[in-house]
Each structure stands twice: as structure tokens, then as C-alpha cells.
Structure 1
Amino acid sequence: MTKTKIIYLAFVFLVTGAAATYLSLTLSSRRQYTGECTASVVVFYKDIRANMTFDFMYNEKKQTGVISISGNYSQNNHFQGTIRRDVSYVWTENKDTYNFISTRVNKFENIETVPDELIAMVLPDFYVYPDKRINYTIQTQGESGFLFLIGKRPLFYCAR
């Protein structure tokens, strides 16, 4: 074999390996989470304000998912810290009512600066501690997203 053929074969193997790796990673991430939506939420409680983004990623077949929460926390209009955590969950459903159970709360210690006690003042325990439940009624809003409700009270719109 000549040097040119060896270089050509090495290049072909390199490109083929890179393409196979990319395809494998893409397919495995699609299998893990088949849907996602994003909601921007502002919560007020007494003199506290929390501006947050919820990114819901879920697998309908396995009834599992992860909610990435990021945002900031202010008190008396003064910035107090940042919130950044991922909440893993499982769910059961009955028609359009979903019972979410948090299985793991992964706090990004190097980013999140607000203690759990303060976050628990503006968010339900489901988003703060593992093994906590929350029930949502979720109504599909066509192809554009979902409306999350508790009872008949709308909480937020989650856009696809």
C-alpha cells in the first residue's frame, strides 16, 4: 500500500467513526427524552420575588423526566442569589391529571446560592426535596404547548 492509500483509509475511518458517534449520541438522547417544553414563571411571596425558567423534559413511554430550574431570587427588590437545579421525576396519570413524584434533586452547588429553606418559600416541596409529590392537571394547547393547572386554576403555560 502506498502512503496516499493509507492516509485516505485513515481519513475514511476517522470520518466514519465521528459520524457513528454523533448518530449514536443523537439517537440515545432522543430515546431518553421524547418531549420538552419551557415555562417562564415569576413567583411573589410577601417581599420575595423569584424569576425562574422551568425546562420540562419527559419520556411519555417510561413516564419519567427531568425539570431544569434556573433563575434568581430577590428580597425587598435586592438580588439575593441564583437558583439552578434539576429535579428528576416519575409520574402516574389519570385522564389529564398527573401525579408527579420527585426522585432526585440535583443542585448545582457552584451556581446555586439560595438555600433550600428559602426556595421552599416560593416553590412546592416537589421542586426542593426528593420523594415529594405534586398533582397537576395538564391540558394540551395544540402543537404549541401545555397549560399546567392545579384544580381549575392555571399556573403556567409550557411552550414547546
Structure 2
Amino acid sequence: MLACLTLLCLGVGLGHLFHLYTEKNRDPEKCTAPVIVFYNNTQANLTLDFMYSLKKRTGVVSISGTYYVDNKMSGVIRRDVSYVWSENKDSTPFYIDGYQQKSRVTKHCPMRFIETVLPDFYVYPGKSISYTILTQGHRGFMFTIGKRARYFSVHIKRFWEPFMKRIS
């Protein structure tokens, strides 16, 4: 009887540890949203990578992509925007700490174009944007402003990440 009870407790404990491990891998504290923006004769194909810390309520949005003028590639957009957030009842305002523009890219996008395709939050320090973030299970988040959905940010998990965590 004692052996059966011990095996049962051991099984429940191992099952709980396995559940915690899989939950941690489902929520890697990063998500990605592909965005295509059209403005007059220009187009921007962007990827927004949100990396965040739930405990610190801080994060970085990495914006990367290309922009086209008259269907010809004209340059590359690369920005890293650090932010902090606070949670209200219905919305999550993001406040920008500052931004850093990567300078290793050979052909940058002009600032006047960035201003037309991205909200001020992603362009200027000290700006804010207020999203309502709806969890879509373990798959990702829906970012909305009011009742209008802006984009779906999906949890991207590369196949090697669980192995790298075991090594480090």
C-alpha cells in the first residue's frame, strides 16, 4: 500500500514538473507580427518582434523590413525600440524609453518615410501607444486599438531553443 502511494505521489510530482516545463516553452516571452503598410506609392514589409519580461514589465520591439517606392526596393528599416508598460483594466499602454537605430545596414530608410508608416511610438522617444492585448491561448496575442484589430503576434519557437536551454 505504501509503495503504491509513493509511486502515485512520484507520478503526480513528475507530471506537474512536466506540465511546468511545457508551459514555460509555450510562453517564450517573445512574439512576432508581420505587417505590410501601404502609403501612396510606397510599401513597407515589416516584421515586429516583441521581446518582453512579464516580471519587469519592460521589453524591446525589434522592427525590421524593407521598403519599396514604385515597386522597387529602396532601402531597409532596422530599429530596436525599448519600452515599459503598465496594465489597466482594458488596455495596456506602452511607453517608449528610447530607441536605437542599427547602423550596420547600408541603405537606411529616410526618417520622413518611417514617420508615415509607423506610429510615433516607434519613431520618437517619449511617445506612447495604448493597445488592448487579447491572449489567443498559447499561440500569441491580438493587439487592438479600440475595437479594431491591428495585428496578431504569434509565439515563434525555433526548434533548437529547448536544446539550447538544456546546454546553457
Q: TM-score range by the shorter chain?
A: 0.7 to 0.9
What letter is aligned with 2:145?
I
Q: Deviations over 1:117-150 (max 9, x none)?
A: 2101100011111111111111000010000111
Q: Which residue of 2 aligns with 1:138?
A: 133
The equivalent of 2:75 in structure 1 is 81
* Alpha-carbon distance in 2 for matches of 1:81, 1:89: 26
Whether 1:129 and 2:124 are equivalent positions in the alignment is yes
Between the two proteins, the alignment pairs up a number of residues equal to: 129
Instruction: Give 1:96 shift.
Output: 3.8
Map 1:101-140; keep pairs closer than 5 Å: 101-111=95-105, 113-140=108-135
Whole-Å separation in 2 of the counterparts to 1:153 and 1:48:
24
Between Structure 1 and Structure 2, which shows a larger proportion of strand residues?
Answer: 1
The amino acid that maps onto 1:104 is G
Q: Secondary structure at the match of 2:55?
A: coil
Picking from 137, 143, 153, the partner of 2:148 is 153
Q: Equivalent residue for 1:64?
A: 58
Q: Identity, % of aligned pairs?
A: 52
2:121 is aligned with 1:92: no
Gaps of 5+ in 1: 1-33
Secondary structure, counterpart of 2:143 in structure 1: strand
**Aligned partners of 1:45, 1:148: CA distance in 2, in Å?**
21
Matching residue of 2:45: 51
Shift of 1:95: 2.5
Superposed counterparts of 1:34-45, under 5 Å: 35-45=29-39
Whole-Å separation in 2 of the counterparts to 1:149 and 1:38: 15
CA drift at 1:75: 1.4
Q: What is the TM-score normalised by the length of structure 2?
A: 0.73
